[in-house]
Amino acid sequence: MPSYLQEYKQKLVTAAEAVKVVKSGDWVEHAFGVCGANELDQALAQRVNELYDVKIRVDIGVWPHYSLEADPTGEHFQWHAWHFGGLDRKYYNQGQMYYVPMKFHECPRMTRNDCAGPNVFMATVAPMDRHGYFSFGAGAPSAMAAAETADYVLLEINTNMPRVLGGNQEHIHISQVDYVVESSNQPLPTLPAAEPSEVEKIIAGHIIERLYDGCCIQLGIGGIPNAIGTMVAESDLKDLGVHTEMYVDAYLKMTEAGKITGAKKNLDRYKQVFSFALGSRELYEFIDDNPGVIAYSVDYTNNPYIVAQIDNFVSINACIEVDLFGQVCAESVGTRHISGTGGQLDFVEGAYKSKNGQSFICMPSTFESQGQVVSRIKPILTPGSIVTDPRTATHMVVTEYGIANMKGKSTWERAEALINIAHPGFRDELINEAESMRIWRRSNRIPSNV
């Protein structure tokens, strides 16, 4: 029997046995998304009365938050997130979750150098291969950084986790693990592709007009990326490339339509590069053992220096609101936290520095709140809102009314460009506000109500 098989057997324990390494006061780090702890956290929750002040960090926690549910006061288990998913947001709204600000490409460095702990690292992984390696599968952003710095590494084996090939830090060897738990192999959490609204389809249409053969595409999450995937699949575009943090079903749709080959990429040619995947079961099956789709740690995928080396890079992300100076908020509504900075700023910076690169920040021009229509383009951001992209970084802002390029423009030119893509019902009001803020020239269009 090979030595690593013997080592596996020696380290194989129950979840209850594995989590005995957690002590009061420890920091426990979960791997990203579907690679987070499931049955290990369930076992940890059973120790609620034995432990105090255990701090848990997740990054888009998609598995049930068992230990949090076991201790709603936070006296025993206190949860934190690098980025909020739907479950995390729910608990934050109940006062049970804290956010850790970051630029995503810096997460591995912060984990190694700046964070408290982790004392214990937990991850759900694919079964060990014949060489003694476990794949982080759909969640490789900073898993290896946490494993390297943790006192204890606990792995939960799930046969539903895809085995993803990769460029760096996407696997961990049995020799680097303290305990292995064979789980009951629950299906991985899925994220249904958001059906785009008619407005989102119009926004996607503006962007499609700017794409051309050989572009390398990064997509965020939501209806607009899904609309773009559908439109690209139905278009005449060809030889597109992929370099992204998040691998979503839109890429699967474009690949199946033969639009993605990576043949024109000047970095990782022919490979679709990503850091984590979140989507349908079909998406997880597609990335399983697929040589054309490779995972890297997020300090590679999101590093603006790396992104800038990829010619014809196109970054497409969403936001909550934009002010007339070009500041973008994509993570909070006032002081109420929604998601996180994530990799948006990474790709905004990197894409603009790419040869022929384009960065698009997308949003419908309005939303409805308490029966009232509200403009997403505002004179200033809602007080308390977090600036995700500073005005110096913002490239192009897109609504259903068109595209506003912020680069190289003075404050009044920015205001004018943004007002031109605002909902017509709010333009006069925005002009008046721009005048009062001294970012509007009298030679510009005068509001109709003057």
Find the CATH number of the domain harbouring 157.
3.40.1080.10
For residue 25, the model assigns a pLDDT of 97
Per DSSP bridges, beta strands 216-219 and 241-242 are: parallel
pLDDT at 3: 83
Q: Is residue 445 part of a domain?
A: no
Task: Indicate the helix (H) or strand (E) that contains 432.
Answer: helix 424-436
pLDDT for the residue numbered 193: 80
Provide the pLDDT for residue 445.
67
Residues 6+ apart with CB under 8 A from 18: 40, 43, 154, 179, 181
Instruction: Give the DSSP H/E element, type plus range, for residue 428.
Output: helix 424-436
C-beta atoms surrounding 232 within 10 Å: 25
Judge if 176 and 303 occupy the same domain.
no
Q: Supply the range of the domain harboring residue 174.
A: 3-182
Contact 30, 123 (CB under 8 A): yes
Do residues 166 and 104 share a domain? yes
Q: Which of 182, 206, 241 is the last residue of a domain?
A: 182
Asked if residues 406 and 352 have their Cβ atoms less than 8 Å apart, the reply is: no
Q: Is the peptide bond before 447 cis (omega within 30 degrees of 0)?
A: no
Distances 186 to 66, 224, 280, 356 between C-alpha atoms, Å: 15, 31, 15, 44
Contacts 24+ apart (CB under 8 A), 127-130: 127/157, 127/159, 127/161, 127/163, 128/4, 128/8, 128/157, 128/174, 128/180, 129/163
- Is 298 a domain residue? yes
Neighbours of 353 (CB within 10 A): 14
CATH number of the domain at 330, please: 3.40.1080.20
> Active-site residue among 200, 245, 331, 435?
245
For every one of its 450 residues, what pLDDT tens digit does the chain have, with 9 covering 90 and above?
578 999 999 999 999 999 999 999 999 999 999 999 999 999 999 999 999 999 999 999 999 999 999 999 999 999 999 999 999 999 999 999 999 999 999 999 999 999 988 999 999 999 999 999 999 999 999 999 999 999 999 999 999 999 999 999 999 999 999 999 999 999 999 998 878 899 999 999 999 999 999 999 999 877 888 899 889 999 999 999 999 999 999 999 999 999 999 999 999 999 999 999 999 999 999 999 999 999 999 999 999 999 999 999 999 999 999 999 999 999 999 999 999 999 999 999 999 999 999 999 999 999 998 899 999 999 999 999 999 999 999 999 999 999 999 999 999 999 999 999 999 999 999 999 999 999 998 766 655 654
Alpha-carbon distance of 144 to 155, in angstroms, equals 12
Which pLDDT does position 239 carry in this prediction?
Answer: 98
- Together in a domain, 303 and 359: yes
| One domain, residues 138 and 236 | no
- Within 13 Å of residue 317, how many CA atoms lie on the same side as its CB? 30
- Name the β-bridge partners of 152: 120
Give pLDDT, residue 220. 84
Is the pTM higher than 0.85? The answer reads: yes
121, β-bridge pairs: 29, 153
Tell me what pLDDT residue 222 has: 79
Q: Where are the beta strands (DSSP E) in 45-176?
A: 54-58, 77-81, 97-99, 120-125, 133-135, 152-157, 171-173
Amino acid 450: pLDDT: 44
Q: Is 190 part of a structural domain of the chain?
A: no
71 and 20 in a common domain? yes
Whole-number pLDDT of residue 443? 65
Active site residue 195: no
> So what's the pLDDT on residue 205?
96
Q: How far apart are CA 384 and CA 378, in angstroms?
A: 14
Distance CA 234, CA 236 (A): 7
The answer to the question of residue 432 being in a domain is: yes
Triad 350, 351, 354: Cα angle to 5°: 90
Look at the chain and count its residues: 450
257 in Cβ contact with 226 (< 8 Å): no
Last residue of a domain, one of 135, 152, 182: 182
Last residue of a domain, one of 150, 182, 214: 182
Q: Total structural domains in the chain? A: 2
Same domain flag for 28 and 127: yes
